[in-house]
Structures are given as C-alpha cells and as structure tokens.
A and B are shown apart, each in its own frame.
Chain A
Amino acid sequence: MAKTCFLRFCILISFFLCQHRLFCQVYSNNDGASDKHFIYEVKEIDEFFERFNDAPNSFLRGMYKARHIKFNIDRQRLIRSLFNEENRLLDSFMINQFISEVTRKKKPVYLDFYGGNWYAELACKFRYNASSIVIPVIMKIEMNQNKGSKWMIVAVGSSSLKPKTDLTEMAQSKTKTKIISPTSHGTNFVSLKRAFEDKENLSGYFERLYFKRSHMLELYNAILNGEIEFLDVTKIKYHFLLADKWIFTVENFPREALNSGWLINHLQKVSSSEMENFRNKLLNGK
C-alpha cells in the first residue's frame, strides 16, 4: 500500500514539474511565458546597443535585478545571443573570432549610437503614377553643436523614379528646429510621413552636403513637386561598420522564440579598403 502511494506521489510530482518546464519553453497565452519572451526579445535597436555593450543600466539587467536573480551572463554570451540563430549561412568560426575581438580585455570594442559608423537602410514605399514604388533611403544619426541629435537622409538608392522637373540645388529649410527625432526608428520612421508633407522645411531632413549624391535630388524634387506620396517604410536594415574590420547587418525577426527581434543576420570581415568600398556603395550606389 505504502509502495503504491509513494509511486503515485512520484508520478504526480514529475507530472507537475514537466508541466512547468513545458510552459516555460512553449509560448501560449500564459502571462509568464509572454513576459519572458518580451524580456529576451531585442525589442528596439536601442536595446541592441545596450546588450552589445553590456550596459550597466540595460533592460535585461534591470529585469534580473527586479526578480532578485544574479546576472551572470557575460558580454561574450550577450553578443552571441544577438546573432540570428536561424540563419545557417552565418559562419560560426567568424562569429567566434568577432566576439573574441570585440570583447578582448586590452581594447574592447563598443557600439556608439552617436559615433557615425552605422546607417539605417529603409525600404520606403511611395505612391507614384497610380501605383507604388519602393525607394531605398539611407539615414544616419547626426549630432549638432549643442550635442543634440537627429536622423538625416544621407543617401538614396536607385529606383524607377523619374521626376518631371529638375532642380540643381535644395532650398533652405525655413525652420531649423524641425527634425526627424533620434528615436524615430522605434516607431518604424513614421515621422517621415510628417517630414515629407512639410514642404517648407523639406531640405532640412536631407543632408545638404551630399545632395549631389546619386538619386538624392531626384527624390527631393519628386516629393517637393507632389509627384510622389510617401506611404510607409516596409523594411529596415541597420549596417554597422566596426573597428575598420567588421561589417554586420541587423534586421528584425519578429518570432516567438527567445532569439528574436533585432538580430545580426550578416557578418563579414573586411580590409579597410573593402570597408570604404562598402560605404561608397551604400552612400553613392557605386
């Protein structure tokens, strides 16, 4: 009798324990599971920076602290978790080399939000000639003298756009304080809608120094003359050019796994001349 009772007890215990583990791993409507997913997902590119740099005030560290759990994830593991695990084309040897180089004790490499060596590549959808076209727009965080920052259009990719009028120079922006805020990336650059409707200050959103870059003036003219209408941003990629040696691309992977959100989907090791070629191609289309 006692033996049967003990066996039943063991079966019940293992049943409840298994159930607990299963709920932790599979996402259902359970609050705990969705909260856990929310904690580990790289929700914004800002959080990507936090994790890459292992910032002391990061969201992840904050969550561990709030739950009284010791944070024993080192920077190497944090960076490894920023790679898209589902991309079989990522070279694990190269990833290891990258991680050990950026986390080396002597001269570790960190990402700088205001550092200038990263770009947002936006696939912008416009209404044009009764249909829609996608124009690649390259944006960059720029800082001004008062240490304030903003997103600026620094290059435009090729498309089938052929503006009717041809201007050779951009007009001066009327209000200098109209900007695309430095957090616009978090809302899928929806502020571009407001910026492209603001014809008086349109030139203020473009980097005037580079207006001669391929397709830059074409896009400016077409928006100014109402030949195209901005609809939305269909995709965002971030390109990081790091330590004159590494180029990686971050994309959004909204899925139910813990390895989700903004993740590295492409990594390459380059020479300094290859890096300049990459930058030239991105900014000048050649």
Chain B
Amino acid sequence: MYMRYFFIIIPLFISLFLYSFDKVYAYAAPAHMSEIAAHNAKIKDTVRPVTEAMLGKVSNEEFKKKALAKITEFQNCLRILCGIQSSNEAQDNAVDQAASLFVEGAIIEVSSAHSNEKKHLRVRDFLEKLRNLPYDGIIITFSHVDYVSNIRKGADGKYYGLVSFEQTFRAYRDGHVVYVDETKKTTEVQLVVYERNLRGNVVQQWDVMLSDVEVVGTKRPKP
C-alpha cells in the first residue's frame, strides 16, 4: 500500500526539482505612490545635462539597478491601474505616479508582430486607455528577467539606455478569460541629474527617468 505512494511521490519530487531550474524570481518592491510622485515631480523641474564629474560617480551597474527599479515601479502602477479592487483614488494616484516616471513628451508606440498597424500615444493617454478597458478584471504578469543595455552618452550631454521586458495581459468577464495577449516592451531610459538642497548645501543627485516606449504584441491575441 505504502509502496504505491512512494512510487508516485518520488517522481513528483524529481519533476518539481527539475522545473525549479527554469524559474528566476525577481524581487518586486512595493510602490509608495505619493512619496515617489512628489519626488519625481521635483526632479523634472531641475533636470540638466549630466556632467562628466557626475557620471564618474555613477557606475553602469548602478544605472542598470536604478533603471530596473523604475521599471518595477511602472509595472506596479499598471497592476494598480488594472486591479479590480483598486479604488478610483488609487487609480488616479497610479496614473499620476506612472506619468511622473517619464520625461516630458515621451511617446508610446503600440504595435503587433502580426499586423502593420501602429499607434502612437502620449503616456497619460496610454494609461487612461488601459484604465478604462471594458473588462471585469485584468491580470498583468511580467517576465522574471529584464534586459538592460549599457549606458550611451548622447550628443546633448544626457545619458541613455534601454530596458526590455515581457508582459502577459489577461482580461476577464463573468469569471472567464475573454482576452489574452503577450507583449514585449522596450523603454528608453535617461539618466538625469538634479540639485537638492540639503541643510543649505546644494548637492547634485541623479536619477533614471523613462522615455519613449515600444510595445510589440509578440503572439496573436486570443479573444
């Protein structure tokens, strides 16, 4: 009797053990919305080209780390925006917070690998569109790995990079999945320097802001 359980459970453990190699988990920090939104709004006012001296203090790894943190913040905003339990106020805050992560004038291009149609949207329009989708619920999941390119210095004195990640979008109506799509998002990121007054001393600090985004549908959506 017990032998039979033994022969079923052992292979199950082996299978679980083998699957575990395929999974890499990333830590997703919670977003503190109002605090970050206020902080980013402040940054925008004092953005200036990065000086050589400033860049000497920023390593490629630090830049990549901060770029990924911004992407996580953006992903958290999207989750709040699409969450069925999110209140109107929380959604308003999520729109503000997500928009504050971007530089002014950023464009989001939405397209599919299976069609020639491309749409260009401003960040707020993109977020509002996502918020007002006619579904009972939406679940967005993100790939466990992100690609971050090296920093490149622009001729305008700013520093640029790219972050790519994948996203699965599932929409529900009456408890059933009615729409699924998978997209690859590539975001241009900019290293910005701002000045902060600390006890009367003006100190230069740096941050990463999101810029243009390309959203490509990688698989045919399932209606």
Residue of A17, A44, A179, A188 near B164 (CB, 8 A) is A44
**B residues engaging A (CB < 8 A)?**
3-4, 7-8, 10-12, 14-15, 18-19, 21-24, 49, 60, 105, 107, 109, 111, 113, 116, 118, 120, 143-145, 147-150, 152-158, 160-162, 164, 166, 168, 182, 184, 186-188, 211-214, 216, 218-219
> By the criterion CB–CB under 8 Å, are B166 and A183 in contact?
no
- Which A residues are in CB contact (< 8 Å) with B164? 43-44, 186
Q: Min CB distance, A216 to chain B, in Å?
A: 20
Shortest Cβ distance from residue B62 to the other chain A in the assembled complex, whole angstroms:
13
Contact assessment for A67 and B24 in the assembled complex, using a CB-CB cutoff below 8 Å: yes
For chains A and B in complex, what number of residue pairs have CB atoms within 8 angstroms?
Answer: 165
Specify which of A24, A59, A147 is in contact with B147 (CB 8 Å cutoff).
Answer: A59
20 new A-B contacts at CB < 8 Å, known A181-B211, A186-B149: A20-B15, A24-B22, A32-B19, A32-B21, A34-B182, A35-B144, A43-B184, A44-B149, A63-B145, A148-B153, A177-B49, A177-B156, A179-B154, A181-B158, A182-B160, A186-B214, A187-B188, A188-B109, A188-B111, A190-B214
Answer yes or no: A207 CB below 8 A from chain B CBs: no
B-contact 0/1 string along A3-37, CB 8 Å cutoff? 00100110011011101100110000111111110
> Does chain B have a CB within 8 A of A38?
yes
Query: Complex formed: what's the CA distance from A83 to B107 in Å?
Result: 32
Chain A residues lying within 8 Å of B219, measured Cβ to Cβ, are 256
CA distance A177 to B50 in the complex (A): 13
Contact B216 A254 (CB under 8 A): yes
Interface contact B116-A254, CB-CB below 8 Å: no
Majority DSSP secondary structure for residues of B touching A: mixed
Counting CB contacts under 8 A, is A146 at the interface?
yes
- Indicate if the CB atoms of A66 and B60 lie closer than 8 Å: no
B176 to chain A, nearest CB (A): 16
- Among residues of B, the one whose C-beta sits closest to the C-beta of A13 is B11
Chain A: minimal CB distance from B129 (Å): 17
| Known contacts A148-B153, A254-B218; is-contact A35 B212 (Cβ 8 Å) | no
Q: How far is the CB of B187 from chain A (nearest CB, A)?
A: 8
Closest CB of chain A to B24's CB: distance in Å? Answer: 6
Report yes or no: A38 in contact with B109, Cβ–Cβ below 8 A.
no
Q: Is the CB of B11 within 8 A of A12?
A: yes
In the complex, what's the smallest C-beta–C-beta distance from B60 to chain A, in angstroms?
Answer: 7
The residues in A between 24 and 82 inclusive whose CB is less than 8 angstroms from any CB of B are 24, 29-36, 38-39, 43-44, 46-47, 57, 59, 63, 66-67
- In angstroms, Cα B156 to Cα A143, docked, is 11
CB contact list, A99-122 vs B, under 8 A = 113
A144 and B166 in contact (CB under 8 A), knowing A34-B143, A44-B149, A191-B212?
no
Is A187 a contact partner of B214 (Cβ separation < 8 A)? yes
> CB-CB < 8 A to A16: which residues of B?
11-12, 14-15, 18
Residue from the list A20, A39, A44, A232 in contact with B145, Cβ < 8 A: A39
The B-contacting residues of A in range 109-146, CB under 8 angstroms, are 113, 142-144, 146
Given contacts A16-B12, A35-B143, A35-B144, contact A149 B152 (CB under 8 A): yes
Contact in complex: A190, B107 (CB < 8 Å): yes
**Could you tell me the distance between the alpha carbons of A191 and B150 in the complex, rounded to whole angstroms?**
20
